[in-house]
Amino acid sequence: MREITAAVLERAAAARPYSTSRPISVCQLELESPGPGEVLVKIEAASVCHSDLSTVDGSRIRPLPMVIGHEVAGRVLELGDGIDDLRVEDRVVITFMPRCGSCSACSGTGQEPCAAGKGANGRGELMGGGTRLRRAGEPVMHHLGVSGFATHAVVDRSCLVPVPSDVPADVAAVIGCAVLTGGGAILNVARLVPGMRVAVVGVGGVGLAAIITALSQPGIEVAAIDADRGKHEVALRAGANVAVTPSEAIKTGLKGDVVIEAVGTVRGFETAVASTAAGGVTVAVGLPEPSQAAQISPFSLVADGRSIVGSYLGSSVPARDIPIFVEMWREGRLNVEALITSRIALSAINEAMDDLADGKALRQVIMF
């Protein structure tokens, strides 16, 4: 048992601003020692992602109280029984797709989420069952098997991907979700060849990850589409060739051979489909509220030979793809730092949620 400091979401859908309603409290918890197949990680960096915000704002219902945070890097502090492929002090990225290792999804390509892992995440538990977090004896739930807005976390071995120690913890953390999602959509789904035009709808962390990954490929033109002109500056600084609002995109007939939808709204999705060139593909990576439906014309899909694909976590296999993105970063081809808009303290977590909700931040990284 270990005393830790963690950010606990006490209630969902609190009134804005969160800086006043303070739905997240930073407090002391007890963390159990790692069980068999589990690892205790000392957290070094954890970035604030929309999937955290959708738990806070109630658009994703999760069991509470819960230690949130799932885009995380740290160092191995203690290994549970049965782990012989990691060492104490290894720097690791913690991913949020725990695996049993033996079901059909786990023995396939590694892109399909494991049903048991997904089930555990949905219940706010670890793969091994139950929670390792307590407050005054009462259970506190895990967020996506990670719970990284904390000084320490116990996680399933299957969530960990080791990275070289010279990769800074903030860069490693952001690679674990934003880059896998936006960059994975480009590398795993888009199949770019020189001369193609890529358009990215929504310049948040995931959208900018798609932009920098597309720019890392030879002969690719990149357009950023975002209603917020402030985001145009961000996209252009990262190297995008052009940045426009959705209405400007329609007015000027801007089209992409590959269009990445990274807003996670029906409107964003419709903009992405409308901006896809004949013969092109729309790749949806944002997650709109589950009950919502979009209006698209089946005729135009057929007549223009266009397609729409969905891509969860950039169709990534974390253990395969994180080392690829790390290598691209190391070669200076992937400007991951462009995603990091600030480095903050854990105590600023409520304010950080406001800034993310207001579109004022891409990735705010909590440094420990």
Interaction site with Zn ion (CB under 5 A): 49, 51, 71, 99-100, 103, 106, 114, 177
CB of 68 to Zn ion, least distance (A): 11
CB of 237 to Zn ion, least distance (A): 23
Residues 203 and 224 sit within 8 Å (Cβ to Cβ): yes
One-letter amino acid for residue 40 of the chain = L
Tokens standing for residue 182: 């936006």
Output the six-digit token pair for 219.
């002969």
Q: How far is the CB of 161 from Zn ion (least distance, A)?
A: 15
The least CB distance from residue 165 to Zn ion, in Å, is 24
Find the shortest distance in angstroms from Cβ 277 to Zn ion. Answer: 29
Q: Provide the terminal-to-terminal Cα distance of the chain, rounded to the nearest Å.
A: 20
Rg (CA), the chain: 20
Name the minimum Å distance from CB 113 to Zn ion: 8
β strands within the chain, DSSP E:
2-9, 24-31, 38-47, 66-67, 71-79, 91-94, 133-135, 138-142, 152-156, 160-163, 197-201, 221-225, 242-244, 256-261, 276-284, 307-310, 340-344, 363-367
Decide whether 244 or 365 has the Cβ nearer to Zn ion: 365
Query: Of 263, 310, 261, 258, whose CA–CA distance to 281 is shortest?
Result: 258
Which one, 114 or 281, has the nearer CB to Zn ion? 114
Q: Residue 180 or 196: which CB sits closer to Zn ion?
A: 180
For residue 104, the minimal CB distance to Zn ion (Å) is: 8
Q: Min. distance of Cβ 294 from Zn ion in angstroms?
A: 22
Closest to Zn ion by CB, 49 vs 154, is 49
Pick 91 or 99: Cβ nearer Zn ion? 99
Residue partners of 279: CB distance under 8 A and separation at least 6 = 257, 304, 305, 306
Q: Which is nearer to Zn ion, 277 or 338 (CB)?
A: 338
Residue among 72 and 220 whose Cβ is closer to Zn ion: 72
Distance (Å) of CA 204 to CA 11, 281, 324, 364: 25, 21, 22, 11
Residue placing its CB nearer to Zn ion in the complex, 19 or 107: 107
3-state percent breakdown (helix, strand, coil) of the chain, nearest 5: 35, 25, 40
Euclidean distance between CA atoms 28 and 124, whole angstroms: 19
